[in-house]
Amino acid sequence: MTVDKYTYNQQEQRYEVYRSSPARRFGDAGIMALIGFALFAAYLLVSGSVFNAPTPKQLVLERRNARLMDRIEYIGQKASRQVDRLAELEMRDNKVYRPIFGMDEIPSAVRNCGYAATGRYAFLQQFTNAGFLTETLRRQDVIERKAVMQSKSYDDVEKMASHIEDMAKCVPSLIPVCPGSGITITSPFGYRLHPIFQSVFFHSGTDISGPRSTPIYAAADGVVTEVKYSERGYGNEIDIDHGFGYSTRYAHLLSTNVVQGQKVRRGDQIATMGSSGQATGVHLHYEVMYKSQQINPANYFDKNIDPRTYMTMVTPAAKINHR
């Protein structure tokens, strides 16, 4: 059943049956569809933003989270700078401070040892920024570990520095024979042609020649560790341990006037020059060892020291036992 619609005709002053054309009917339906679609789209938009919008509490937490991340990043950057500064301190410690006192470098493997075990940072894996947090915490651990090691090294250096006077007395800095007429360095430290075997070999000491029975003095304070006749061609030989890694050897001696275990001071007469063992002439074969390695004795003594000054620094054998 259809219901007729009427419209009022003003000019003719009567009601007429309303006839809608197909085009008009289609137009009305299109407008209605558009309005419906617009309403639906608006609903989707509004409902979406309403349901997904963060709550005020979430907003506060998000802002706090962002601030925390900024702070962690700042701490991470600071840690990087501290690691760089510690690396400089380590370098100076290894290359300057420790060598002054004859201390070995601390290898980087030792300085960096510690938290190598995996799993230390596993608990961070539950967080969104696990990688970033792990790296930041790892840097902090590195700083802590290196700082502890550096502090320990400074303690050792300080201990050595407090013994600097003892150490200075133990460095073999006195040439063991008084320089003067008839005293010459005939063979320096290093490779040379052997005078007896006529072959190139390493000369582990310095040869100082002079008249037979020339007094020989201890190059530094120490303890006599050997007084013997050497089977290695050194003849009568004295070894002295000076401590702090230093020791000296005196060979081809004519006579000795110290005994094993005896404490000596720098300048104490310990022997006289001779040619015992495999020697082509009267001379002292003098060696300096530092941490069991033979080093050039001439780097330690002053061969141009004035003989009169030298004689004020030494004690003849006859006086040693009466002081």
Q: Which residues bind Zn ion (CB under 5 A)?
A: 205, 207, 285
In the bound complex, what is the minimum distance in angstroms from residue 187's beta carbon to Zn ion?
A: 6
Nearer to Zn ion, 8 or 197 (CB): 197
Residues 170, 166: Cα–Cα separation, whole Å: 6
* Phi, psi dihedrals of residue 286, rounded to the nearest 5°: -120, 125
Nearer to Zn ion, 170 or 251 (CB): 251
Q: Give every CB contact of residue 212 below 8 A, 6+ residues apart in sequence.
A: 254, 272, 273, 274, 275, 282
CA distances from 194 to 183, 235, 279 (A): 21, 17, 11
Q: Residue 180: name the closest of 214, 217, 218 by CA.
A: 214
For Zn ion, the nearest residue by Cβ is 285
Nearer to Zn ion, 205 or 297 (CB): 205
Q: What angle do CA 229, 231, 234 make, to 5 degrees?
A: 65
In the bound complex, what is the minimum distance in angstroms from residue 302's beta carbon to Zn ion?
A: 20
Answer yes or no: are the C-beta atoms of 143 and 114 closer than 8 Å: no
In the bound complex, what is the minimum distance in angstroms from residue 203's beta carbon to Zn ion?
A: 6
Nearer to Zn ion, 176 or 205 (CB): 205
Q: Please report the beta strands in the chain, taking only residues with DSSP state E, as ranges in sequence order.
A: 5-9, 14-18, 184-187, 190-193, 200-203, 206-209, 215-217, 222-230, 235-243, 246-256, 263-264, 269-273, 283-290, 293-295
In the bound complex, what is the minimum distance in angstroms from residue 283's beta carbon to Zn ion?
A: 7
Nearer to Zn ion, 97 or 234 (CB): 234
Nearer to Zn ion, 192 or 319 (CB): 192
Sign of CA dihedral 30, 34, 35, 40: positive
Q: Residue 19: name the closest of 5, 8, 34 by CA.
A: 5
In the bound complex, what is the minimum distance in angstroms from residue 155's beta carbon to Zn ion?
A: 41
In the bound complex, what is the minimum distance in angstroms from residue 287's beta carbon to Zn ion?
A: 8
Give the rounded distance of the alpha carbon of 256 from its chain centre: 46
In the bound complex, what is the minimum distance in angstroms from residue 272's beta carbon to Zn ion?
A: 17
Nearer to Zn ion, 205 or 235 (CB): 205
Token representation of residue 250 = 């005196």
